[in-house]
Amino acid sequence: MSTTHDDAPLAAQVRHLEAVLEERGWLAPGEIDERLDAFAAGGSPAHGAAIVARAWIDPDFRARLLADASAAIGELGFSMGGALQEQELIVVANDADEHHVVVCTLCSCYPIALLGPSPSWYKSEAYRSRVVRDPRGVLGELGLELPASTRITVWDASAESRYLVLPRRPEGTDDLTEAELAGLVTRKGLIGTAAV
């Protein structure tokens, strides 16, 4: 599937505005690119994985995370910062009966600070429209086959709220350290398109 976008007029306007701001001394040359690079570099799937690993080993943290995720992640030094306004983080936990998956049907709202830049498929119109109508089919296409008895709940992110999936802890991992557990968690698992 390919989509053609004619972004050239908008890109030219953005470059012009950036040049004017630099000429007036309101921005240093290249400052916008530097800030965007710093913002993108600050987010990483390792942050989300660390949150999940802590929830797997600490039941009290897990309870706080599910009750008020925005506050709980602060205990680990993370935030949803970087945006013009703080977004609410909502964590939804998979269990034996229910699997959660996240989408933004409007655009591609996504917790960059905790997952790094979003994957291209997450932003695609195909994923955004189809996962709501046929979540089991889309998950299967992405390599996740769930039992027919598993209920699938799709969460629609917005400008105000971002979601993170708390995957089920894999069996046979009781002897792993928190860091080793974090190493098992994938970005797809944090979105809900993989088991972990």
109 counts as catalytic: yes
pTM of the model: 0.80
Domains and CATH numbers, the chain: 8-40 (no CATH), 45-191 (3.90.330.10)
Q: Which of 59, 81, 86 is nearest to 166 (CA)?
A: 59
What confidence score (pLDDT) does residue 3 get?
40
Out of 44, 79, 108, 118, which one is annotated catalytic?
Answer: 108
44 counts as catalytic: no
118 counts as catalytic: no
Out of 2, 44, 70, 109, which one is annotated catalytic?
Answer: 109
Residue 5 has pLDDT above 50, yes or no: no
Q: How confident is the model at residue 41 (pLDDT cuts 50, 70, 90)?
A: low
What's the pLDDT tens digit per position in 162-187?
999 999 999 999 999 999 999 999 99
What's the pLDDT tens digit per position in 130-158?
999 999 999 999 999 999 999 999 999 99
What's the pLDDT tens digit per position in 109-131?
889 889 988 899 999 999 999 99
Out of 2, 44, 70, 107, which one is annotated catalytic?
Answer: 107
Burial degree of 61 (CB within 10 A; 0-12, 13-18, 19+): middle
What's the pLDDT tens digit per position in 6-38?
556 766 787 788 888 888 988 788 777 776 666
What's the pLDDT tens digit per position in 67-76?
999 999 999 9
What confidence score (pLDDT) does residue 193 get?
98
108 counts as catalytic: yes
Out of 2, 44, 79, 104, which one is annotated catalytic?
Answer: 104
CA distances from 151 to 87, 134, 136, 188, 196 (A): 27, 12, 9, 18, 17
